[in-house]
Structure 1
Amino acid sequence: MLLRDPTSLLLDWRFVVNTHTNHIWNQQFLITADRMETFLAANLTRPPFLVLSVWSKIYRSFGENDKFMFSFATWFVAIATYWITNLALLYVDITGKPKFLSRYKVQKDKNAPLDPKLLPKVFRTVFMNMMVVLPVVFYATCLMSVWRGMSCGYDVPSLPRILLDLAVAVVCEEILFYYSHRLIHHPYLYKSIHKKHHEWTAPIGLVSVYAHPIEFVVSNALPLFAGPFLMKSHLMTLWIWTVIALSGTSIHHSGYHFPFMLSPEFHDFHHLKFNYNYGLLGFLDRLHGTDSLFRKSKAFKRHKVLFGFTPVSVSIPDENEFNRKKAH
């Protein structure tokens, strides 16, 4: 009987162990990959269970009436978003409370506090647009949604599809708003239509829809709904987008540069100077050179999301304020 070299036996033992270990690891990898595939399929190609459950309850509560949901219910989402956001901002404008929020005012010498005598005219126009014009717009939306084959039922979209639809909605709104807004700055159209909105050189949240009805439809409503119509978005996505867009335009007009919120500096500058910054995001203004004066201003340096509680007017002070502090 031949005796094998101990070193050879040791190598054979290591081979067996390593083969067995690799087999176990391969099995574990396949199990993990299968679980990951199942997780991704469940979370990326299908809506989360909670979202589907909540939407199903909403859909059933409206009697599964698609026309009612696309018209009245969508209108209610819009006006609820507008009034909740802007009544809160209006309270701050009129009372100046809480006092620390006044530190975030963009134009500190304007509407601080707001004169209540200015409000009746605003309320009349806002009421006309939100309570008379907008329901007609949403009825037209309902008819077009049926024509486009948009759904509001149980086929809730996946998260990637919602994000894609929202991204397209943002781009469509920017394009349509920029060019329609620039069009109504034509001298003839400005005088007869758009001048009303520019009565406020230091805007407040309420005046986001303080506009001539033609402007309200062409430059506000149409850009808002273009993206969802193009993408045949589910009604749930349209509601999400409506909340984002209306609260966003209220912040753009608020006159406050609050922490962790969208910067209003870009659109506030438009109300101050009129013929600059026609868009919302700014990339078309950059393309067409309609942000030239803004880019030279202090507002441009302040135009960013504020990640902190120090107001941008303090961290980036005006020249006069800077010289005054330096003198002291």
Structure 2
Amino acid sequence: MMKEGGCRPRAASPLKWLTQRPTRVTRAWCSGPASPAPADLWSTLKKALFIIGSSTIVFVALRNSLTYHLQHFWGASGDFWQHQWDKILHTYGDNPFTFMVYGTTIVSYVVYWTVGLLYTFVDMTGYPAILKRYKIQPGTNEPVETWKLIKCILWVNFNQIFVGVPFSMACFYLLRLRGWDESRQLPTFHWVIIELIICILMEEIGFYYSHRLFHHRMLYKHFHKMHHEWQSPISITAIYAHPLEHALSNMMPVFLGPLLMGSHVATIWLWVSLALLSTLNAHSGYHLPFFPSPEAHDFHHLKFNQCYGVLGVLDLLHGTDDKFRASKCFSRHLMMLSLVPPREAYPDVLPKGKVIRGKQCYDQPSEDSQ
């Protein structure tokens, strides 16, 4: 049966809220016969495999040279890092519970607030002024509202202490149950690289599906709505979230990799630090030169139902980045290797008479408009 206007209704699915693309009827859907779902999935899967395959070829080609130099950084004197680790063990004792629970909490707290407060200083003072050119949403949080900032700081500290410590305790006992590396010897450089790759992939899977779950209408208003109070995020809003969401969608995906691999606590500290640096950058509101692009997650805060993942692979597979890819923001979604701000390198094509006032991201111009 056809709807008025000739558009065929899409088939209902029990997993519609998780797997189906946005259901708003568009001209593209009405312009011709709908493609079968398996063919559409295969098309996006081929794109993802191309990206992963190309990256793998480049990695293999550069492996010997890259790992040679990084190996020297890891331990220029052969046992430099092991010597530093031995000093930590000698100073604080060799208690795995203490290192996993309290050590992880301290490391994450120091990394989060060291970087987060640097960004907050810029947001509050506007200094150095040149950084305004790198704002993703110009004119927003200049300066940040004081009461919103205080509320954010209080909630983040609550999550780090009253959610983070119990969660780390649970992680310790799960690692003990699984069996993990409790030795005094640090893992080799190459094994750490392998574990970090697994951790990144597991975080992408865990975060994408848990994050999208919290966007379901039954959960959003009770939990995730709190995080989306910031339509234009700042760095320290990275873990400004309901405590349940912080445990299940922020911390759990990061822990999946170490749990699967039975990682050494030093590797866990390194991985947690990298994950925090990534999310602080993604929420910063600035697209700085030589930094990974935060455009996708900033677009998520702006548009709400796009770009749920970290790497973007699952967004591509599920079609939850289609509006992002159709916008001018997508052209800026790359690591800038020059000092030219992304908005100047890839300017918006503004409708006639319009000016940028912060919360716009105009669509790519069509061929007809050029």
The TM-score, its normalising length taken from structure 2, stands at 0.73
2:205 aligns with 175
Q: Hey, what's the Cα distance between the residues in 2 that align with 1:274 and 1:158?
A: 41
1:262 aligns with 292
Query: How big is the shift at 1:319?
Result: 1.1
Match of 2:292, SS? coil
1:198 aligns with 228
Q: Which runs of 4 or more aligned residues in structure 1 lie more than 3 Å from their structure 2 counterparts after TM superposition?
A: 321-325
1:128 aligns with 158
Query: How big is the shift at 1:324?
Result: 8.9
1:304 aligns with 334
| AA of the residue aligned to 1:281 | L
| Residue 128 of structure 2 corresponds to residue 105 of structure 1 | no
| Residue 108 of structure 2 corresponds to residue 81 of structure 1 | no
350, 355, 361: which is aligned to 1:320? 350
Match of 1:319, SS? coil
* Structure in which a larger fraction of residues adopt helix: 1
Match of 1:69, SS? helix
Query: How big is the shift at 1:200?
Result: 0.6
Match of 2:350, SS? helix
Q: Hey, what's the Cα distance between the residues in 2 that align with 1:95 and 1:321?
A: 32
8 Å CA contact 1:206, 1:250 repeated in 2: yes
Q: Hey, what's the Cα distance between the residues in 2 that align with 1:290 and 1:109?
A: 27
Query: How big is the shift at 1:213?
Result: 0.6
Deviations 1:107-136 (A, max 9, x none): 002112212222122122112101211111
Identity of aligned residues (%): 41
Q: How does 1:55-70 map to 2 (within 5 A)?
A: 55-70=85-100
2:13 aligns with none
| Residue 240 of structure 2 corresponds to residue 210 of structure 1 | yes
| AA of the residue aligned to 1:212 | H
8 Å CA contact 1:152, 1:236 repeated in 2: no
8 Å CA contact 1:258, 1:306 repeated in 2: yes
Match of 1:202, SS? coil
Aligned-residue Cα RMSD (Å) equals 2.1
Q: Hey, what's the Cα distance between the residues in 2 that align with 1:322 and 1:130?
A: 47
Q: Hey, what's the Cα distance between the residues in 2 that align with 1:62 and 1:148?
A: 25
Say how many residue pairs are matched. Answer: 284
Q: CA, structure 1 residues 240+88, in 2 after alignment: closer, same or farther (shift >3 Å)?
A: same
| AA of the residue aligned to 1:104 | Y
Q: How does 1:6-45 map to 2 (within 5 A)?
A: none
Query: How big is the shift at 1:148?
Result: 2.5
8 Å CA contact 1:82, 1:247 repeated in 2: yes
1:144 aligns with 174
Bigger radius of gyration:
1
| Residue 127 of structure 2 corresponds to residue 92 of structure 1 | no
Q: Hey, what's the Cα distance between the residues in 1 that align with 2:104 and 2:351?
A: 47
Match of 1:211, SS? coil
Q: Hey, what's the Cα distance between the residues in 2 that align with 1:166 and 1:261?
A: 19
| AA of the residue aligned to 1:272 | L
| Residue 273 of structure 2 corresponds to residue 243 of structure 1 | yes
Q: Hey, what's the Cα distance between the residues in 1 that align with 2:341 and 2:186?
A: 41
Match of 1:151, SS? coil
Q: Hey, what's the Cα distance between the residues in 1 that align with 2:184 and 2:272?
A: 20
Q: CA, structure 1 residues 324+199, in 2 after alignment: closer, same or farther (shift >3 Å)?
A: closer
Q: Hey, what's the Cα distance between the residues in 1 that align with 2:94 and 2:166?
A: 22
Match of 2:162, SS? helix
Q: Which sections of structure 2, spanning at least 5 residues, go unmatched?
A: 1-67, 356-370
8 Å CA contact 1:137, 1:217 repeated in 2: yes
Q: Hey, what's the Cα distance between the residues in 2 that align with 1:290 and 1:229?
A: 28
Match of 1:320, SS? coil
Q: Hey, what's the Cα distance between the residues in 2 that align with 1:179 and 1:255?
A: 24
Q: Hey, what's the Cα distance between the residues in 1 that align with 2:182 and 2:251?
A: 20
Query: How big is the shift at 1:321?
Result: 9.3
Deviations 1:5-27 (A, max 9, x none): xxxxxxxxxxxxxxxxxxxxxxx
Q: Which sections of structure 1, spanning at least 5 residues, go unmatched?
A: 1-39
Q: CA, structure 1 residues 323+300, in 2 after alignment: closer, same or farther (shift >3 Å)?
A: farther
Match of 1:192, SS? coil
Deviations 1:191-212 (A, max 9, x none): 1111000111000011100100
| AA of the residue aligned to 1:287 | L
Q: Hey, what's the Cα distance between the residues in 1 that align with 2:216 and 2:173?
A: 32
Query: How big is the shift at 1:154?
Result: 2.0
1:220 aligns with 250
| AA of the residue aligned to 1:232 | G
Query: How big is the shift at 1:316?
Result: 0.5
| AA of the residue aligned to 1:61 | T
Q: CA, structure 1 residues 296+70, in 2 after alignment: closer, same or farther (shift >3 Å)?
A: same
259, 264, 281: which is aligned to 2:311? 281
